[in-house]
Copies of this chain bind each other. A is one copy, B any other.
Amino acid sequence: MRRGKTFIICGPSGVGKGTVVARLLASDPALYFSVSATTRPPRPGEEDGVHYHFLTRETFQQWVEAGDFLEYAQFVGNYYGTPRLYVDRAMEQGRDVLLDIEIQGAEQVRQKRPETVRIYVAPPSWGELERRLVGRGTEDMEKVRSRLARGREEFAAARDFDYFVINDTVDHAVEEIRAIMLSEHCRPEERMEMIGQ
């Protein structure tokens, strides 16, 4: 049986990554979406193991020391990380894994596991990203500007990513990511083993 592969999905705030990921998961039930661990307390309606793995600071620290995170970071006083165990288990079952993480986390994963495929979801243009962020209507203009500035910085930092997918339409972005996932299973190492030489 083929072994699963891990695909990192990064992208700026407002690009519509959540919708793209949801559509990918709906289109392929075998795809495993990695659930993050956090030290942040659960909010009403959040379930352990579904929205997050909720850990105490002590447990989180133990996992860090044991090398049980593929990446982790602190954000507004809480820790967030990608547990290695679930990712490895899914891949051993032959399932591909999606990681929806920040660009700094993507760099940590790349250093540990250079075979991880990194996909950056980009807006069709910066003007379009601004329209989407303003269109949400949830943030004032200063926050929109700060998110845009951060998006541009990340974009520059993502130039060594493996793939760039432009989210002009969700259909189009999903088609491209599915093509990337399929093509990455056509690499010689994996295939030569299948044919047996």
Residues of A in contact with B (beta carbons under 8 Å apart): 119-120, 122-126, 152, 155-156, 158-166, 175-176, 178-180, 182-184, 186-188, 190-192, 194-197
In whole Å, how far is A127's beta carbon from the nearest beta carbon of chain B? 10
Known: A124-B195, A196-B125. A163 touches B182 (CB 8 A): no
Query: Which B residue sits closest to A129, measured CB to CB?
Result: B195
In whole Å, how far is A50's beta carbon from the nearest beta carbon of chain B? 31
Contact between B183 and A179, CB atoms less than 8 A apart: yes
Q: Cα distance A156–B192 when bound, in Å?
A: 9
Residues of chain B contacted by A155 (CB below 8 angstroms) = 192, 195, 197
Query: Which B residue sits closest to A122, measured CB to CB?
Result: B195
Q: Binding site of A, secondary structure by majority: helix, strand, loop or mixed?
A: helix
Identify which of B166, B196, B197 contacts A194 (C-beta below 8 A).
Answer: B166
Q: Cα distance A152–B195 when bound, in Å?
A: 11
Which residue of A123, A176, A182, A186 has the most chain B CB atoms within 10 A of its CB atom?
A186
Contact between B191 and A182, CB atoms less than 8 A apart: no
Residues of chain B contacted by A175 (CB below 8 angstroms) = 182
Contact between A195 and B125, CB atoms less than 8 A apart: yes
Residues of chain B contacted by A188 (CB below 8 angstroms) = 120, 158-164
Q: Cα distance A98–B149 when bound, in Å?
A: 41
Contact between B186 and A164, CB atoms less than 8 A apart: yes
Q: Cα distance A120–B187 when bound, in Å?
A: 10
Contact between B163 and A187, CB atoms less than 8 A apart: yes
Identify which of B122, B159, B183 contacts A183 (C-beta below 8 A).
Answer: B183
Residues of chain B contacted by A195 (CB below 8 angstroms) = 122-126, 155, 164, 166
